[in-house]
Amino acid sequence: MKKLQDRQGRNFPYLRLSITDLCNFRCQYCLPDGCHTPQHKTAISLDEIRRLASAFAALGTNKIRISGGEPSLRSDFYDIIHTIRNIPGIETVAVTTNGYKMDRRVERWIDAGMTHLNVSIDSLEPAMFQRITGHNRLDEVLGGIDKALAAGLPSVKVNTVLMKDINDKELDRFLGWIKDQPITVRLIELMETGDMPDFFQKHHLSGLVVRQQLLKKGWTQMIRPDNAGPAQEFSHPDYQGHIGLIMPYSRDFCNSCNRLRVNSQGNLQLCLFADKGYSLRHLLQSDNQQELLIARIQEVLQLKEDKHFLDQGNTGATTNLSIIGG
């Protein structure tokens, strides 16, 4: 079987696919002024998504994460989940969402074939949640998580961006929340993007600080499989949930990179912080182009760099993560 391996010998069983750059939230670190120049009218169509996902599956990809912008804003969102889920070889269909109206919709996503769910919640305090996202919707988002667990999803992951002087005092509140629930809270270091160097300087907090706090409280780092990606995961015998730490600024973070990205315009992005993407769109127009598409993906992958250059302040072409899906 053909597979996706780069010059460094890393394998890529995981594709993160952005299906729209449109978003309705105004997260301070991502789209603080809202979404002004969305390209959602020219986003890849359901047929283009099917061809793309089929080509990646033929190259050994078994996990596809659907992201955005806010992916659930697409009117054909259910069809997209269903189509990807039915591609031979795709075992995991994950969704990353801000949780908008999820309390009313998540059961349908599961029916359509979603197997894994990541919900972004940066604060469990309603006023702070509103300050960060521009929306007073914490209850709605939490209600959606309850529904997802009740509907049979074995676990839910929550993405929480760590921000100094904003939500850095909330660790205990998050820990209390996951005591009796199978939820993994993944604390993500704030990453610098082209739009927000000042916000980054003011609010970036190293995950190592939280790591120390967790170890002190009796949490232990879990052993994860070799291909598990760059998150560190922690467990505690008294807690049903887990904590994940994603520290892109740590040394060796890129060694375990196992993911590629395609944005909503059909550009293959070799890294979140790459200088450019490589268009696949001209090869998504007909089912007869599959072999050419597969060859193009393999060829472009050989251009992947060893690592990102964030530590040198080089954020690449990524002005904010809503463009590329995080």
Q: Give the interface with ligand SAM as residue ranges (CB under 6 A).
A: 23, 29-30, 67-68, 70, 96-98, 120, 159, 161, 188, 190-191, 193, 321-322, 325-326
- Alpha-carbon distance of 218 to 216, in angstroms, equals 5
Q: How far is the CB of 247 from ligand SF4 (least distance, A)?
A: 18
Q: How far is the CB of 264 from ligand SF4 (least distance, A)?
A: 12
264 binds, among ligand SAM, ligand SF4, none (CB under 5 to 8 A by kind): none
Q: How far is the CB of 72 from ligand SAM (least distance, A)?
A: 9
Please report which helix (H) or strand (E) contains residue 248, including its range: none
Please report which helix (H) or strand (E) contains residue 84, including its range: helix 77-85
Decide: is 192 part of the binding site for ligand SF4 (CB under 6 A).
Answer: no
Please pick, from the candidates 54, 98, 193, 269, the single residue that binds ligand SF4 as defined by CB under 6 A. 98
Decide: is 23 part of the binding site for ligand SF4 (CB under 6 A).
Answer: yes
Please report which helix (H) or strand (E) contains residue 137, including its range: none
Amino acid, single-letter form, for residue 73: L
31 binds, among ligand SF4, ligand SAM, none (CB under 5 to 8 A by kind): ligand SF4
| Pairing of β 267-269 and β 278-279 | antiparallel
Phi, psi of 154 (to 5 degrees): -65, -30
Cα–Cα distances in angstroms (integers) from residue 217 to residues 162, 213, 233, in the given order: 19, 6, 15
Considering only residues 42 through 81, tell me which ones interact with ligand SF4, judged by CB under 6 A: 68-70
Considering only residues 143 through 162, tell me which ones interact with ligand SF4, judged by CB under 6 A: none
Radius of gyration of the chain (CA): 19
Rounded to the nearest 10 degrees, the angle between the axes of helix 138-150 and helix 126-133 is 100
Q: Find the part of the chain contacting ligand SF4 (CB under 6 A) among 4-12, 19-27, 111-119, 262-270.
A: 19-27
Decide: is 25 part of the binding site for ligand SF4 (CB under 6 A).
Answer: yes
> What is the DSSP annotation of 8-35?
T--B--EEEEE-----S---TTT-TT--
Decide: is 102 part of the binding site for ligand SF4 (CB under 6 A).
Answer: no
Cα–Cα distances in angstroms (integers) from residue 244 to residues 22, 219, 232, in the given order: 27, 11, 5
Q: How far is the CB of 22 from ligand SF4 (least distance, A)?
A: 9
Q: Which two tokens stand for residue 98?
A: 């801000």
Q: How far is the CB of 324 from ligand SAM (least distance, A)?
A: 7
Decide: is 141 part of the binding site for ligand SF4 (CB under 6 A).
Answer: no
Which positions touch ligand SF4 (CB under 6 A)? 23, 25, 27, 30-31, 68-70, 98, 120, 322
